[in-house]
Chain A
Amino acid sequence: MEKFSIQKFDTPEPDKRMIKCYLRDNGNSEQIDTLINECADLAREVFDCRVCSAEFPVAISESTVDFGFASVESASLAKHLAGCDRAVIFGATVGLGIDRLIMKYSGVSALKALCLDAAGSDMIENVCDLFNERINAEYKSTVSRFSPGYGDLPIEFQRDIFNALNLNKNLGVYLTEGMQMTSSKSVTAIIGANNESN
């Protein structure tokens, strides 16, 4: 494991149009727009965006990918990482605060809970994008990020990533028996890269 780091990201401005998309709201009700604004503000206050990452070697043989700390059987990942000699593996989260807010409002207003959920989903994607940009700038070439559960990469591989990066301790994110993360607005992913850093 090389280049282990924990980075904190300043919370980007929530994208209200994206929240509307998540809600599948194509209308233009002023009442709903006000509610989206209100929820975006509430969510913004509790976001605590962090990424824990490290670089690992990649060795591919047929459909097996070996990262040094674990190897995994996945034809789609092997194909995706073809040509990469290393990968940046990361865990990202926007923190537990958003889950608490969602729970707090779920008994009061299903719509508010849904809005907050959308704000959380949008924010974690934002954080991954920001981190991805940093990585793209760091390496000569990278491929797009790939997460456990996608294609034929078993969701159980998430457990190996959690252990390798010690995400319980470093991000305060936990994995349930059913492979779901708490806080729920969290992501684990692999970014394939090659060549030395710039």
Chain B
Amino acid sequence: MNDGYETKAALLAVKENCSLPVFVTNAYNDDERLLTGASPEAMVAMLEGLGADAIGLNCSYGPDKLMGVIRRISAVASVPVIFKPNAGIPCVRDGKTVYDISPDTFAQYVLEAVDSGVNIIGGCCGTSPEYIEKLRNGIENKTRIDETEKNLTVVSSYSHSVVFGERPLIIGERLNPTGKKLIKQALLDKNSDYLLKEGRSQQEAGADILDVNCGMPGIDEREMLTDTVYKLQAVCDLPLQIDTSDFSAMESALRIYNGKPVINSVNGKQEVMENVFPLAKKYGGVIVALTLDESGIPETPEGRLEIALRILETAKEYGIGKKDIIFDPLTLTVGTDSTAAQVTLESVRLITEKTGCNTVLGVSNVSFGLPGRGVINSAFFILAMQCGLSSAIINPLSPEMMGAYRSYLALRGIDKSCLDYISYVKSREGEQTAQTAKTQEGDTLEKAVIEGRKEAAALITKELLKEIAPLDIISEKIIPSLDIVGKNFESKKAFLPELLLSAEAAKSSFEVIKENYTSGAGGGRFTVILATVKGDIHDIGKNIVKLLLENYGYKVIDLGKDVPAEDVLKAAKENSARVVGLSALMTTTLPSMEETVALVKKELPDCIVVVGGAVLTAEYAEKIHADAYCSDAMETVRYLEEIE
């Protein structure tokens, strides 16, 4: 197979239906990745986590091009390694398809791989009994190198793996509703764009892993966590930490995850271990283990170590080894107990020393109730790393925390020649200069929106909010400016890219307003459901419509692409939407468009259905009983204004 996700599905299917050993091989590209992007290390991490009995590669290229891949697999795999390449790549010579590696050359490479730890060999496309005979003869003089346990604490995403223990890792904490009103709102609104943006910005700020927590009252955690994990992996290639105490949400997210995640968390309570360990064993994962149990959190490092040892013992009964457990000795608040930080630090040291396991801490709890939290958090973070902490759940957007982190790596000689430290400081200085250069004397929000300057629009909005009410900024400054560009677009004086630049500048202004006022900052217009119909995976046009509608104050619920008719109807009902907007790009999905319109019109006769997209026409829209056809985003805005 040449895709990691597909391989996971196949392996789970086999494991759930049969008890025979499973050998898994994948076809790698000459850039040493699967065609869909996974590195050999990421595949080994995921497949070992899922319980594959032997792992390796087959097909694609000749052994000459795949030696790098097979060495990388052998270096990290703890199970037997399989090498079964093609006799080269198929090409046409003298009008015939040939594979360009001879049996002798083939055998030479494959046998060389045996010396670097490959245990099972063979040939794929283009090979013949002659090739296999050469292998068989050559193997006579070889000694088999048995596979060894590599003891790596490793997680992976669809693209790469991350190993614990080499340097302290940053786990981004921001995708968690606790104490964050905008995330709470985004979860309630099912606004995945906001969550995805948080994911991306943490990655850009230097996170190695992202924690994802969707637990809050009033939402279906299982559905939300699964959906967020699924969507995050499309826009961000970091490994994820699935953070939930709801076991059904945990299983659902583990099943959909494309890689080997961190599982947050288990603890010393019997009931929790009984639920979490079987899931971790089945789907694979590195488990965060909190050192608390039925009697609470022990007050001493020795007490926390004792729980850690008990957790390890129980894990072993489930077939889970030490390498897949990382301990969180728990950060308590120093403001209420002056020994709290000291006990945590000593626990990190003791548990690392006695168990050999990796550790993790949620750092910021230490400063709860104190002023200037960033200052004390960063000091605690450095002390913890000095005690051997292997990962920390922090806010990677905090300059104090990342400054402390970069400094620590430089001071400990982990960051050779301080290169990362230097580039970090430079990028921070760069950001500050860029911020001040964005606005000029006499600049206005109107000008920034019309000229499509996002950063300037955001900065000016921040200033304006000190004097003008948010709704006035929207109705007196943003909307009129957008209208000017919109009219230019309609009269073909401005082109689509210019309209989009302005729309994005307006959006950045809205975002500033939203950060300051969560309610009542929208334009207060009605709700619109947007979707690309089932079968269609093109959504760029629909996204443009969404951007413009939001700018004009409509509340948009974007269901994404390839959306079944029933889901459109459900969302329209739940949100009492006045308008449903449907898009389709391909002729093949027109029947699906017709079906969706029919269903919505039948169940909700008063709901207005607007359609658009490359293959739609006004005539077709009429034929399928849609209320309107709009040829572009601006026309959609105008139509909605008209019916209001």
Contacts and interface: CB of A to CB of B under 8 A. Distances in A.
A96 B37 contact: yes
25 contacts: A5-B92, A6-B91, A7-B91, A8-B30, A27-B495, A29-B497, A31-B451, A32-B501, A48-B35, A54-B97, A104-B235, A107-B197, A109-B500, A110-B540, A111-B497, A111-B504, A114-B497, A155-B587, A176-B535, A176-B562, A177-B535, A178-B537, A178-B589, A178-B592, A180-B536
Contacts of A27: 494-495, 497-498
Which 5 pairs, one residue from A and one from B, show the smallest C-beta to C-beta distance?
A: A172-B35, A178-B535, A111-B500, A3-B92, A107-B193
A74 to B, nearest CB: 15
Classify the interface of chain B: helix, strand, loop or mixed. mixed
A176 B97 CA distance: 30
B196 interface: yes
Given A97-B37, A110-B503, A179-B588, 9 more contacts: A3-B96, A32-B501, A104-B234, A113-B543, A114-B497, A172-B34, A172-B36, A178-B534, A178-B535
Interface string B1-37: 0110000000000000000000000010111001111
Interface stretch (A18-26, A56-64, A77-85, A122-130): A18-26
A71 to B, nearest CB: 21
A97 B36 CA distance: 8
Contact of A108 (B31, B200, B540): B200
A180 B615 CA distance: 15
Interface string B480-496: 00000000000000111
Interface string B532-573: 001111111001100100000000000000100000000000
Nearest to A4: B97
A32 B498 contact: yes
A169 B27 contact: yes
A26 B235 contact: no
Interface of B: 2-3, 27, 29-31, 34-37, 59, 89-92, 95-97, 193, 196-197, 200, 234-236, 451-452, 494-498, 500-501, 503-504, 534-540, 543-544, 547, 562, 586-589, 592
A110 B544 contact: yes
Contacts of A35: 497
A163 interface: no
Given A107-B196, A110-B503, A169-B2, A24 B496 contact: yes
B537 A106 contact: no
Classify the interface of chain A: helix, strand, loop or mixed. mixed
B532 to A, nearest CB: 11
B536 A100 contact: no
Contact of A23 (B37, B496, B539): B496
Nearest to B541: A114
Contacts of A8: 30
A109 B452 CA distance: 12
A171 interface: yes
B197 A108 contact: yes
Contacts of B97: 2-5, 54
Contacts of A25: 495-498
Contacts of A5: 90-92, 97
Contacts of A31: 451-452, 501
Contacts of A103: 234-235
Interface hub of A108, A114, A178 (most chain B Cβ within 10 A): A178
B35 A171 contact: yes
A104 B231 CA distance: 10
B544 A114 contact: yes
A2 B95 contact: yes
Interface of A: 2-8, 23-27, 29, 31-32, 35, 48, 54, 95-97, 100, 102-104, 106-111, 113-115, 117, 149, 155, 168-169, 171-172, 176-180, 182, 184, 196-197
Given A96-B35, A96-B36, A110-B543, A23 B497 contact: yes
Contacts of A106: 539-540, 543
Nearest to B586: A180
Contacts of A32: 497-498, 501
B588 A4 contact: no
A114 B235 CA distance: 16
Contacts of A7: 91
Nearest to B548: A110
Contacts of B540: 102, 106, 110, 113-114, 117
A48 B31 contact: yes
A113 B59 CA distance: 35
A110 B539 contact: no
A110 B547 contact: yes
A109 B535 contact: no
A178 B586 contact: yes
A197 to B, nearest CB: 5
A153 B36 CA distance: 30
B495 A24 contact: yes
A155 B497 contact: no
Contacts of A95: 35
B330 to A, nearest CB: 35
B587 A6 contact: no
A100 B234 contact: yes
Contacts of A29: 497-498, 501
Given A110-B543, A172-B36, A197 B95 contact: yes
B509 to A, nearest CB: 15
